[in-house]
Amino acid sequence: MRWHVRTTAALAFVVTAGAAAAQHAAVAADARIGETIYSRCLACHALAYDRTGPRHCGLFGRRAGSVKGFAYSDAMKRSSIVWTEKTLDRFLANPLKMVPGTAMGYAGVASSKERADLIAYLKEANASAQCRS
């Protein structure tokens, strides 16, 4: 019984600590910093229109390789990815690992904090008038 109580208490602590960490990460993600990080993407991407890379407006919930008229790699078209915070985080960490054959020949954003900031900015931008118009 004592073991059970201790285990329950330990589990409760782990769950609470995990939730706190997740909340901290959510709070810590800074869209303003993310906007600065987004400047790294601006050789190829824009929010509202396609360039060497596809537009980022409408990104969340979009199936990868589905912007009409954009010439994706076969690998991206076949990837079956739907862009969410989670899938974006994985892709941005190492695009060539997640989608071998992607045209995005980029080593990735190594820092999880920078990825979180970048994703926070993309979410904010997607809710902005620029993306909603």
Partner 1 sequence: MSFLIVANAPNVFEARRAFLGKSGLLLSGAAVALLAGQEALAAGGDKSSDSDTRILNTALGAELEAIAAYQLGAESGLLQKPVLDLAVTFQGHHKEHADLLAKTIQKLGGKPVSAKAKYAFPTETLKTQNDVLRFAATLEKGAVSAYLGAVPVFGNRDLAKAAASILGDEAMHWAILRNALGEAPVPSAFVA
Considering only 7, 8, 63, 101, the residue that binds partner 1 (CB under 8 A) is 101
Look up tokens 């080593």; give the residue: 107
Q: Which is nearer to partner 1, 60 or 72 (CB)?
A: 72
Count the neighbouring beta carbons within 10 Å of the beta carbon of residue 124: 14
Q: Which is nearer to partner 1, 73 or 126 (CB)?
A: 73
Contacts of 38 (CB under 8 A, 6+ apart): 118, 121, 122, 125
End-to-end CA distance of the chain: 61
Write the binding mask 22 to 41 for partner 1: x where contact by CB under 8 A, - elsewhere: ---------------x-xxx
Binding status of residue 13 toward partner 1 by CB under 8 A: no
Binding status of residue 99 toward partner 1 by CB under 8 A: no
Single-letter residue type at 86:
K
Number of residues that bind partner 1 (CB under 8 A): 22
Interface stretch with partner 1, choices 10-18, 22-30, 49-57, 60-68 (CB under 8 A)? 49-57
Within positions 50 to 89, which residues make up the interface with partner 1, using CB under 8 A? 50-52, 73
Look up tokens 């980029």; give the residue: 106
Could you please report the per-residue DSSP string of 29-64?
--HHHHHHHHGGGTTT--SSS-SSS---TT-TTPBT
Binding status of residue 108 toward partner 1 by CB under 8 A: yes
Binding status of residue 131 toward partner 1 by CB under 8 A: no
